[in-house]
Structure 1
Amino acid sequence: MGKQIDFQKYLEDYIENLGQDLKIRWNSWEKNLDEVEVYEVIGGLMARQVSIANEFSRSANLWNPNIAPILLRSMIDNYLNFCWILLQPLERSQKFIYFGLGQDKIQMSHRKLLQENNPSEENQLVIDSIESWINSQNYEFLTIVNVGSWSEKSVREMATETNELELYNYVYQPFSNVAHNSWSHIGKYNLGVSDNPLHRFAKVPAIYKYTYDFYYMDLAMKYVDMMFLKFDAFFKVKVDVMRAREIFYEEVDNIGRDK
């Protein structure tokens, strides 16, 4: 019997190395604190990408066509935001922040209305927390509320402007069908053909059990890599060590080889 491979160990190594990938880039990035919003937004978007990949790598039961595209679509959306912000880093980073604060202001308004009609200590704590968060960055009464897209562009327009239309067409769009529970997905993955011939092959609800497919985990690794490579090229950050994804595949390739 061959040696049993602890595949999870290699994924844990990947998670640790991915954290180092982010840390190296952050520490190697020359910063101008007069434009602090750029560093907060760009750093935050990269940390978000790493966080999703980390959680995904620990949840192999999600590596299937019914669930994985929901998280992977979020990673692509994050990457496209990242690329679009890089075209005008300061202006668009500020826009990204102000839109987010505006969304919090809307949520606080809803909470305040709820408090007026049905007061509770728990709800007031939420209101105080949101208000404190907004005021820590921008006075709440100065925060502009925008109910549209933060970029005032469609995702497709952002993809076009950043030369990522292929990614949008072939991955983001089909993954959106999963995230939005469209017929394109439900008809294939949540229905089956009735086994009763009298039903004229009508579709009936079906719950399928999936085995994990590492293909989806590889996509998550790829989308983190894409963001790091874009960051390195744009900010001219030189990184002399292998990236986590490269290390992972080198380790996996060495499994079973004679030492």
Structure 2
Amino acid sequence: MSTQYDAIGRFGFRLCQNISDNLTERTADFRGGDGFETAVNSVLSTLLARQSALAIGLAESPLTWSGHIAPLVLRSMIDLLITYRWILLDPRQRSQEYISYGLGTEKLLTAHYQQKLEDGFEGADVKRIMEANMAWIESQQFQMFIAVNLGSWSGSSVRKMCDEIGDPDLYKFSYTPFSSCVHNMWNHVGKWNARTCDNPLHKQHAVGVIRDVWPIVDFVFRACKYLELVLDEFDRYYEYSSNLDTPITAFNAAVQELSEEWEKEDD
């Protein structure tokens, strides 16, 4: 068993290296467009890095390849993919809106911390957090010019965003199913955290359990898929071409290598 887990570890390391290489190649000395599209370049580059970080986090942690943890990561990756494609429908305007919403949210949080201190709360950590947040905001824009938006940053629902990017199935078959895990809905916990009571007198009620399952590699494939879709959008926008293996190609090669290694062990 330990030998098989070692093989899975090598499988994850190989994928992580490919993901890291794909990101580094695209962001090294990065200056897209005319070089002055600050918001667009910042958003598209950092969101790509975020997607890569999520994929690496999943790939390097085999114990997360189950319905307990993996859907949490994949749901975030799907949300990012939708956001990425939606921004690219009007990159200059929507990139700025995306940044402004984030700054506004941080400004509101900073105001909450400040109010806590003004009400007499004594906490050096809270003060340091408030000052650090304020410095981060001010490094990008004066607080007085930042609006706080309490609604959706896009002003639209995720379902509508998927319709606008021309991929309603992404909402129906990816975003919605994984959302049941994020929100701890019955159609998730009833599958992964429930078993039928053994006592026939208890009317077959559910008993809470943590299902112990062998790592499900398909979750890693999905992470590679959602990352590759963002890479495709990045490359399309910047007319970039790479000779590196794509994450899915790297995944398939790693699976083949893993299968061959296990076959040798069985002989």
Normalising by the residue count of structure 2, what TM-score does the alignment of the two structures yield? 0.89
Equivalent residue, structure 2, for 1:108:
110
Which of 75-84 and 228-237 deviates more? 228-237
For residues 142-221 of structure 1, the aligned pairs below 5 Å read 142-221=145-224
Distance 1:241 1:206, change over 3 A: closer
Distance 1:125 1:142, change over 3 A: same
Distance 1:110 1:15, change over 3 A: same
Equivalent residue, structure 1, for 2:27:
26
Structure 1 residue corresponding to 2:77, chosen from 72, 75, 83? 75
SS in 1 for 2:67: coil
| Preserved CA contact (<8 Å) 2:225 2:247 | no
Distance 1:252 1:71, change over 3 A: closer
Distance 1:22 1:124, change over 3 A: same
Output the CA distance in 2 between the equivalents of 1:112 and 1:175: 36
Report how far residue 54 of structure 1 moved. Answer: 0.7
Output the CA distance in 2 between the equivalents of 1:245 and 1:123: 44
Output the CA distance in 2 between the equivalents of 1:200 and 1:178: 26
What amino acid does structure 2 have at the position aligned with 1:26?
T
Report how far residue 29 of structure 1 moved. Answer: 6.0
Output the CA distance in 2 between the equivalents of 1:204 and 1:241: 48
Report how far residue 254 of structure 1 moved. Answer: 4.9
| Preserved CA contact (<8 Å) 1:112 1:127 | yes
- In percent, how many aligned pairs have the same letter? 31
Output the CA distance in 2 between the equivalents of 1:253 and 1:194: 41
Which of 115-124 and 136-145 deviates more? 115-124
What amino acid does structure 1 have at the position aligned with 2:21?
Q
Structure 1 residue corresponding to 2:100, chosen from 98, 101, 110? 98
Aligned length: 255
SS in 1 for 2:240: coil
SS in 2 for 1:33: coil
Deviation digits for residues 95-121 of structure 1, max 9, x if unmatched? 000000011011111111111221221
Moved over 6 A (4+): none
| Preserved CA contact (<8 Å) 1:29 1:235 | no
Deviation digits for residues 189-231 of structure 1, max 9, x if unmatched? 2222222222111223223222211010111111111111122
Output the CA distance in 1 between the equivalents of 2:42 and 2:192: 40
Output the CA distance in 2 between the equivalents of 1:43 and 1:9: 28
Output the CA distance in 2 between the equivalents of 1:35 and 1:234: 13
Output the CA distance in 1 between the equivalents of 2:220 and 2:132: 36
**Aligned-CA RMSD value:** 2.0
The runs of 5 or more residues in structure 2 that have no matched partner are 262-267
Structure 2 residue corresponding to 1:134, chosen from 137, 144, 152? 137
The runs of 5 or more residues in structure 1 that have no matched partner are none
What amino acid does structure 1 have at the position aligned with 2:154?
S
Normalising by the residue count of structure 1, what TM-score does the alignment of the two structures yield? 0.91
